[in-house]
Every structure is written in C-alpha cells, then in structure tokens.
Copies of this chain bind each other. A is one copy, B any other.
C-alpha cells in the first residue's frame, strides 16, 4: 500500500517514521482521519470531495493531512481495503460451514446487510465508486480489489450451485444470473437505505431472504 521506496518529500519521511514506530496516538488519529474521509467521500463522491473538505471536518489544515497519509488515493484505498478483505474472509468462513445451502445463503445475505449497517460510509464508498477510475497509479491494487469482489460473488454462486445439486434450489436458472440478481438486491441498498432510519437491519434481511428464496407470489 505505502511504497517503502521513493520517500521523496520531507513530510513523507516524517510520516513514514511515525508510521513505522507506530505510536498508539498517531495510529488512532490516522484511523480517525480515514473514518472522516469515508464520510466525506460518501457525501460528495471521491472525485468531487476535496482534501480541503476532509481537512475541515478533521479540524485541521489540508497540509496536515500529509502527515498521516501520502495522497488522496491512499485515503481512498484505506477506506476500501479493510472492509472488503474482512467481508471476503467472513464469507469464506460461512462457505465452509457444514450447513445447508439455504442456510449458507441466508448467512451470506445477513453478512452483507450487517456489513453495510455497521460500516456504513465505508461500504457505501466501496459499492459506489469504481476502483479502476479512482486509482490511477497502483492499478495492481485496483485489480486485487476487483478480484476480491469476484471472490465474494463466487461464494454466493457456489452456494446456489450446491443447492441446485442437492435439489433444494430449482434447476434451470443460471447460477451466475441469480447470484448477480441477489447481489444487486443487496448492494443497491446503499442508494436508498440509511442505517438507523425507518427500517431495521433485521427487517431488510428477513424481507430479502423471504423474497429471494420463496418469491413474491402467493404459494
């Protein structure tokens, strides 16, 4: 993420020093900055948000940000990476559980909703922004993030295929299309659902699982 080489500028040297002997205070403040960046990115969009905006909320000058972070891009990467990796790991855990495909999918659905509720601005930014457009350098990073997303999708697809194989899910529908449909249902929430308003996490999960497994038509 942070290149160890090419420590060009003065602050970048001081930043790397502070980073490497990782004081608790420093780390905490850096984390706080990233938290705030996520909020601002969510509100204005990565491209539209300026470091000035972020610094203002952070309560300091734009120049000071560089004491914690090398660039606007790094700020973005820090917002995405943790939460995405965490989700993939959690999904992998669910995929390995010795439970029915239906139960697996239920847990995966629950995971995605919970993640959006718990890590609201982060997940919003992750879902909304296009990695490859935002990150100009370090295209390798963008590729890795896209791969992570594909991995996430695959857990859904695999669970579906499993269910088709054991007869608990209907045959004849493309597992990829079904998985993408479900994924859309889950991720699109970022556009209309603000955690803590009107609907509860449980309501969302319950509605989406009911809809996905059994459909809207009366039985």
Contact = CB atoms under 8 A, between A and B. Distances in A.
Most buried by B among A102, A191, A203, A213: A191
The majority secondary structure among interface residues of chain A is helix
Most buried by B among A133, A211, A216: A216
B180 A216 contact: no
A118 B131 CA distance: 26
Interface residues of A, number: 46
A192 to B, nearest CB: 5
Contacts of A181: 185, 188, 207-208, 211
A170 B48 contact: no
8 contacts: A169-B217, A174-B199, A177-B207, A181-B208, A181-B211, A182-B185, A183-B188, A212-B215
Given A168-B217, A211-B212, A214-B217, 11 more contacts: A167-B218, A168-B218, A170-B214, A170-B217, A170-B219, A173-B211, A177-B207, A178-B207, A181-B188, A188-B188, A215-B215
